[in-house]
Amino acid sequence: MKYPGKRLPLVAANWKMNTLPGGAGALVEEYGDEMLCGNPELVVCPPFTHLAALGLTLGAAGCLGAQNCSEHLSGAFTSEISAAMLRDLGCRYVILGHSECRLRNPMESLRIPEKIAQALAHGLTPIYCCGEDLPIRQSGAELDFIARQLADDLPPELKLNSHKLVIAYEPVWAIGTGKHASPEMAQQMHVFIRSRLKDMMGIEAERTRILYGGSVQADNAAGFASQTDIDGVLVGGASLKPADFRAIFGAFAAKGQ
């Protein structure tokens, strides 16, 4: 049985720790009004300090996202930000399990199921990141590794909420290493991820959007957009360059028509 619906492409801008709050609105304005049309869906994930002001700039036309959240609801957790706080600021999405967070904090992976559960409980859509590093890719164990990540990280709540999940495949081995994942290689991994989701969650997994989160640039976006199971992209550095980001967005706008 095949899910009959069509997945709306999603293009997410992960600004990481870049820009100052005063320049955030101007950067979004440089993206252009065509990005606020709703197809593809645009999600902007700025630093925490920018969320309140940027939510006003985006309004109802764009989606505001955060780059992480706590696994706790509230309490004595210095420096943490809860999913409830993000939702109150107008966020609709939150990135969880990004490779940079996992690398900096060895405990991060253990917290992801609870973070996803908190996000869902407060009306946030998780953009859950998974992906293998270079030694795992070179050993040929990438499929086993991704299968374990999915099994370990995705909580039981998702069985009834798989349509509220977005997955971003991050080939860590292809980020800043000089190596590249071709669109065909990315497609193969996306097919595998979707098959594992179906095993875990059933046919509803056909509704889950799977983004590519490698080094997406203006000159390679069309190749990724041409692949059936690449439903969008999670863009890092190129999202800080409006002309490049418009080109990436345009590649997926054509896919969504």
Distance CA 96, CA 68 (A): 6
In angstroms, rounded to a whole number, what is the distance separating the alpha carbons of residues 151 and 122?
23
DSSP string, 13-51: EE--S-S-HHHHHHHHHHH-GGGGSSSSEEEEE--GGGH
User: Which of 41, 100, 142, 170 is an active site residue?
Assistant: 170
Q: How far apart are CA 9 and CA 28, in angstroms?
A: 19
DSSP string, 173-199: GGSSSS----HHHHHHHHHHHHHHHHH
User: CA 21, CA 48: separation in Å to the nearest integer?
Assistant: 10
Q: Give me the half-sphere count of Cα atoms (radius 13 Å) on the Cβ side of residue 124.
A: 32
Written as six digits, the tokens of 96 are 């969880």
Active site residue 98: yes
β-bridge pairing 10-14 and 41-45: parallel
Among 98, 122, 163, 190, which one carries the catalytic annotation? 98
Q: Does residue 170 have an active-site annotation?
A: yes
Query: Is residue 153 within a helix (H) or strand (E), and if so which, with residue range?
Result: helix 142-153
Are 75 and 45 in contact by the 8 Å Cβ rule? The answer is no
Q: Indicate which residues carry an active-site annotation.
A: 98, 170
